[in-house]
Amino acid sequence: MKRASPLFKRIAVIGLGLLGSSLAHAIRHNGLGETVVGHDADTRVMSEARSLGLCGIYAKTAAEAVSDADLVILATPVGAFSTIAEEIGPALANGAIVTDVGSVKRLAIEAVTRHMPAHAVYVPSHPVAGTEQSGPSAGFADLFENRWCILTPIEGSDPQAVARVRAFWEGCGSSIEVMDAEHHDLVLAITSHIPHLIAYNIVGTAADLEEVKRSEVIKFSAGGFRDFTRIAASDPTMWRDIFLANKDAVLEMLARFNEDLAALQRAIRWGDGDALHRLFTRTRSIRQSIIDLGQETAEPDFGRPHGAAEAEHGPESRKKARI
Amino acid sequence: MKRASPLFKRIAVIGLGLLGSSLAHAIRHNGLGETVVGHDADTRVMSEARSLGLCGIYAKTAAEAVSDADLVILATPVGAFSTIAEEIGPALANGAIVTDVGSVKRLAIEAVTRHMPAHAVYVPSHPVAGTEQSGPSAGFADLFENRWCILTPIEGSDPQAVARVRAFWEGCGSSIEVMDAEHHDLVLAITSHIPHLIAYNIVGTAADLEEVKRSEVIKFSAGGFRDFTRIAASDPTMWRDIFLANKDAVLEMLARFNEDLAALQRAIRWGDGDALHRLFTRTRSIRQSIIDLGQETAEPDFGRPHGAAEAEHGPESRKKARI
């Protein structure tokens, strides 16, 4: 739904991958900013963004992009935040609001705040949304719709700036949750980072086996394995940065996962069918809760096409249906 | 596509859950048998099957179901195979072919062959197909279409019987692969059993945390966690039986998974970004191979609906599209 008057005059989006390009689409689609200024450090990404017509203005540097912007969104991997913040700090306009889309908040805050001038405000945010695809052409306007965006405001931040960032994400169709950065990092470790880690891990394990051929892994992947390949196809740089930046929470949650897995392993070794059955029954209800909250499709198999449709007409006919 | 004349006169399907009911649909839809005789040990399942009109005849016992059948398909959890084989053995017709849909083949063969009379043939098979849903109403005719079915024939089995089982699965739309039972169990351990085990495990871990509320796990599940809840919603009895029956191969593959995970854990602890990036880059290509083979949709996010469509119209409108 387009707003009567834009929330911001000039929005700078730094980083034009899946998230940045989706932001450019969502801003235009929902009328959230008069002008979008885009910048990406990768010149190939910049020319792809240009040919897609993503932004109103393309800036050669991050500093150039943020001058005169009343909202700046960092949409790069979190490992780049410190360098970008250092570069844009002196160029930020008076009263500028800086936010980001990083999956790790404690280290994002550390990296950005030290370079913030007194006349600008940093309001950390994290839209819990994405797909496994990357790059400027992967973005779409409703990526943030019906998703949660977590704000982790810094103590003493201007409440008006926080309210404007909240309004921005609500304008993208998101629901807002506010929590402190430390708790955010723990929640995301279990709901996002560990799932990605074990997905990457099992795909790696399967690829390295000698007894089972890669062609067999691929052929028989419908038995469950293919589900994991989706998030294991996510952007490598983004995910490297997340694991390095959220080390403590990831290692803590991984320890829990490993403890539980060891107990399962023991139950299998000793033939404890009751323990297995108890866990397998307990895990069923959580999916139903996710479906009930509108965060997952109720259709079997994620609603994937079945039968011949999958091989022959699936992707194409469904793409058309979406347009 | 309906055949000119059915492959079998009378097909007995023992077990009318997701697989058994899909078989009943597929047999009728593809004209593979003149009559389908159904049986399930659970009387509620039986009456549900009746009201759905799944079978031509409903038998009170497994023995009754198989008398006069020229094809018998065991579609129960593998843990029940031995008892059923013992019951149906003496009732099998002369020249009857017995097959099954079990995910574990070495123990299935052990359980079934000892009860086979000399005048019947057991041809073990495993269609690598399924969804996370259970019960007679979950089945559909094209579940096996565009999927692989693995045959693990016993040495010295009548080649004509093997050929007829092959023709049956081809008639359901499947491609056939033949291998020995031991190799099958190893392949499925990595492509299906370990993925299910770690999915069950992480959903259990997340449900048990004290620092992160269950409501938070559910809300922010779109960060990756929700993918795992799908296969962790699969039938508990079926999966208990699989882990007990394929213990050796599962423990072997789990050891590999754990070794690799320990290496990843170490890379995170010591900040080895290059090792992480290397793995995360390597795992991308395997998904593309699965898509190229027509075993996965090319659409982002499994083609899940995005935005408002997911919450409001998603499941319903897509159900209609399938009908």
What is residue B206's predicted lDDT score, i.e. its pLDDT?
A: 97
**Best residue of A176, A219, A239 to probe chain B, by most B CBs closer than 10 Å:** A219
Of B217, B229, B304, the CB nearest to A303: B304
Q: What is the pLDDT of residues B164-207, one digit of tens each?
A: 999 999 999 999 999 999 999 999 999 999 999 999 999 999 99
Contacts of A139 in chain B (CB under 8 A): none
- Counted residue by residue, chain A has a size of 323
**What does the angle CA A137 – CA A25 – CA A9 come to, to the nearest 5 degrees?**
135
Considering the segment(s) B183-282 as one domain, its CATH architecture is Orthogonal Bundle (1.10)
What is residue B268's predicted lDDT score, i.e. its pLDDT?
A: 98
- For residue A209, the SS3 value is coil
The candidate with the shortest Cα–Cα distance to A140, out of B284, B300, B223, is: B300
Residues ≥6 apart with Cβ < 8 Å to B222: A128, A129, A147, A148, A295
What is residue B317's predicted lDDT score, i.e. its pLDDT?
A: 37
Cβ contact A202–B220 (<8 Å): no
Pairing of strands A148-151, A125-127: antiparallel
Contacts of B147 in chain A (CB under 8 A): 222
Burial of residue B60 (CB within 10 Å: 0-12, 13-18, 19+) is exposed
- Amino acid identity of B82? S
Contacts of A310 in chain B (CB under 8 A): 146, 294-295, 297
Pair of tokens at residue A12: 């700078």
Where in chain A are all domains bearing CATH 3.40.50.720? 8-179
In A, minimum Cα distance to B265 occurs at A251
Residue with tokens 């708790």: A183
Strand order across the B175-178 sheet: B125-127, B148-151, B175-178
What is residue B38's predicted lDDT score, i.e. its pLDDT?
A: 98
Contacts of A257 in chain B (CB under 8 A): 201-202, 205
Q: How far is B119 from chain A (nearest CA, A)?
A: 33
CA-to-CA dists, residue B186 to A144, B86, B103, B235, B238, angstroms: 41, 27, 11, 21, 18
Question: Are A136 and A54 spatial neighbours (Cβ–Cβ below 8 Å)?
Answer: yes
Q: What is the pLDDT of residues B156-174, one digit of tens each?
A: 999 999 999 999 999 999 9
Cα B85 to Cα A210: distance, rounded to the nearest angstrom: 35
Pair of tokens at residue A57: 């203005």
- For residue A224, the SS3 value is coil
Phi/psi of residue A12, each to 5°?
A: -95, 125
Contacts of A300 in chain B (CB under 8 A): 131-133, 138
Cβ contact A237–B302 (<8 Å): no
Span B3-28, average pLDDT? 95
Cβ contact B198–A200 (<8 Å): no
Where in chain A are all domains bearing CATH 1.10.3660.10? 183-282
Cβ contact B295–A219 (<8 Å): yes
In A, minimum Cα distance to B289 occurs at A218
pLDDT band of B5, cuts 50, 70, 90: confident
Question: Are A219 and B147 spatial neighbours (Cβ–Cβ below 8 Å)?
Answer: no
Of B204, B216, B314, the CB nearest to A260: B204
Cα A92 to Cα A101: distance, rounded to the nearest angstrom: 19
Contacts of B208 in chain A (CB under 8 A): 256, 260
Cβ contact B299–A289 (<8 Å): no
- Counted residue by residue, chain B has a size of 323
Question: Are A254 and B185 spatial neighbours (Cβ–Cβ below 8 Å)?
Answer: no
Asked whether the predicted pLDDT for residue B274 surpasses 50, the reply is: yes
- Amino acid identity of A70? D
What is residue A318's predicted lDDT score, i.e. its pLDDT?
A: 35
Span B24-46, average pLDDT? 98
Asked whether the predicted pLDDT for residue B321 surpasses 50, the reply is: no
Cβ contact A195–B271 (<8 Å): no
CB atoms within 10 A of CB B31: 15
Low-confidence ranges of chain A (pLDDT < 70): 1-2, 308-323
Which contacts (CB < 8 Å, 24+ apart) does range A109-115 have? A109/A152, A109/A154, A109/A181, A111/A78, A111/A81, A111/A82, A111/A85, A112/A74, A112/A81, A112/A82, A112/A85, A113/A154, A114/A85, A115/A82, A115/A85, A115/A86, A115/A88, A115/A89
What is residue B3's predicted lDDT score, i.e. its pLDDT?
A: 72
**What does the angle CA B10 – CA B13 – CA B16 come to, to the nearest 5 degrees?**
145
Of B150, B261, B297, the CB nearest to A315: B297
* Range from A219-223, A307-311, B250-254, B305-309 carrying the lowest mean pLDDT: A307-311
Residue with tokens 């991050």: A62
Cα A162 to Cα A186: distance, rounded to the nearest angstrom: 22
CATH topology of domain B8-179: Rossmann fold (3.40.50)
**Best residue of A234, A244, A250, A284 to probe chain B, by most B CBs closer than 10 Å:** A284
In B, minimum Cα distance to A175 occurs at B219
Q: How far is B204 from chain A (nearest CA, A)?
A: 6
The candidate with the shortest Cα–Cα distance to A58, out of A67, A48, A50, A70, is: A50
Asked whether the predicted pLDDT for residue B13 surpasses 80, the reply is: yes
Cβ contact B286–A214 (<8 Å): yes
In B, minimum Cα distance to A259 occurs at B205
CB pairs under 8 A between A and B: 404
Of B229, B283, B299, the CB nearest to A290: B229
Of A148, A198, A276, the CB nearest to B202: A198
Strand locations in B40-122 (E): 57-58, 71-74, 97-100, 121-122
Cβ contact A143–B306 (<8 Å): yes
Strand locations in A68-139 (E): 71-74, 97-100, 121-122, 125-127
The mean of the pLDDT values for chain B is 94
Contacts of A134 in chain B (CB under 8 A): none
Residues ≥6 apart with Cβ < 8 Å to B129: A222, B22, B143, B144, B147, B149, B174
Cβ contact B237–A277 (<8 Å): yes
Of B204, B207, B303, the CB nearest to A304: B303
Span B292-319, average pLDDT? 72
Cα A178 to Cα A40: distance, rounded to the nearest angstrom: 29
